[in-house]
Structure 1
């Protein structure tokens, strides 16, 4: 697996903005978002930082809850990740390679679960207000399991609008995702989340 494949938040690393004084309401915004959002679409910019380098990617995403999602990286390379409810398909255009894995085993209670499944928030995380920075109010979601693979997630809102997610994993990778052009009522169908490997690509199983 190439270095760039660590970038998708569901698999490894979804960090660090300065924290200002805590403001009440971020948890309320998160819970309202979790209750109301049945579908989400928009754009994202994702930055992964470790001791050696910083990598930034961008693209678009679609989510239909529960359990369906599509992340399409367009810059600086093209890569598509589709969760169809049973299988996660990772298509790397440059490598002409598709990797498939069990969705339940891959996501578990990872950061991607917060976006794709409404039940994950209460069942897997402890929440607390975590200050403000750059006009964004943050909630810190700490995993209840000690072996979750990451230390915590910060979920940011501007008012009631989802604005950012930040995560620091157990290897010290820090990831920041900024969301934009959000549509909280996209017209999505389940068929949009099906995936068939293109002809001529290698298909690997995890």
Structure 2
């Protein structure tokens, strides 16, 4: 599901951006932390590659990401089909135009996990949850390996590639217990753009079926 993919992606982004690290990677993560602390917003294009370990099939998704501190997110996929996820101030919307459906979920759907709350709010330290190792340079980017101290089925290993010129993430790779890989690469990254809060609101278009999971049955 798009929500689980995005939750994993953003938890890792903020996990790395907001944290300290063991000695080998300390200088890199310290520079990233300083960059994030000065960051109020960002936007970028993304290419997501989802590899199924059993079949070897790779699904590619392209679109754009926008983030506004402290926790507003807009993740918009444009190919192979349009899909929108908006993490607003009071709810999470997942909209699929082709299906004419929109699902409204509580913020806890994305922000309620331990990692998401801690890392997106800037309260986490990387060395509490991960063993971090610097693995040199690839294509001019600094590579870090992240090994969870307490692996979970959704994440047993991760790698990030950092642009040393900006101290921002360029690529993130998550690997789950089954060997499935979720890689997201960022391009055309813009730091601190002026983003309207309206970008992080959503009103279902006329004729769209709404499933509201924020209302108790």
**For residue 108 of structure 2, what is the aligned residue in structure 1?**
104
Which residue of the partner structure matches residue 70 of structure 2?
66
Partner residue in 2 for 1:47: 49
| Two-structure CA RMSD over aligned residues (Å) | 3.0
Deviation at 1:181, TM superposition (A): 0.7
Are the aligned partners of 1:111 and 1:153 in contact in 2 as well (CA < 8 Å)? Answer: no
Query: How far does residue 138 in structure 1 lie from its aligned partner after superposition?
Result: 2.6
Q: What TM-score, normalized by structure 2, do the two folds share?
A: 0.75
Matched ranges for 1:55-204 at <5 A: 55-107=59-111, 108-110=113-115, 114=119, 116-122=120-126, 125-126=129-130, 128-131=132-135, 132-143=137-148, 146-147=151-152, 149-159=154-164, 160-204=167-211
Per-residue CA deviations over 1:18-54 (Å, capped at 9, x if unaligned) read xxxx877432233223322210101110000012211
Q: Which moved more, 1:132-141 or 1:155-164?
A: 132-141
Contact 2:43/2:191, CA 8 A, preserved across alignment: yes
Structure 2: give runs of 5+ residues left out of the alignment. Answer: 13-23
CA distance in 1, matches of 2:149, 2:105: 25
Worse-matched range after superposition: 27-36 or 93-102: 27-36
Q: CA 1:6/1:194 → structure 2, altered by over 3 Å: closer, same or farther?
A: closer
Give the 3-state SS of the residue equivalent to 1:9 in structure 2. helix
Question: For residues 84-105 of structure 1, what are the alpha-carbon distances to aligned partners after superposition, in whole Å with 9 as ceiling and x for unaligned?
Answer: 0331111111111112222224
**Structure with the greater alpha carbon radius of gyration:** 2
Distance in 2 between residues matched to 1:73 and 1:194, nearest whole Å: 16
Q: Give ranges in structure 1 of 5+ residues lacking alignment.
A: 15-21
4+ residue stretches of structure 1 with deviation over 6 A? Answer: none
Change in 2 beyond 3 A, CA 1:113/1:93: farther
Higher fraction of strand: 1
Alignment partner, residue 5 of structure 2: 8
> Structure 1 residues 191 and 29 mapped into 2: Cα distance closer, same or farther (>3 Å)?
same
Secondary structure of 1:191 counterpart: helix
Using CA pairs under 8 Å that are at least 6 residues apart, name the structure with larger relative contact order, 1 or 2.
1
How many positions carry a matched residue from both structures? Answer: 195
User: How far did 1:195 drift?
Assistant: 1.0
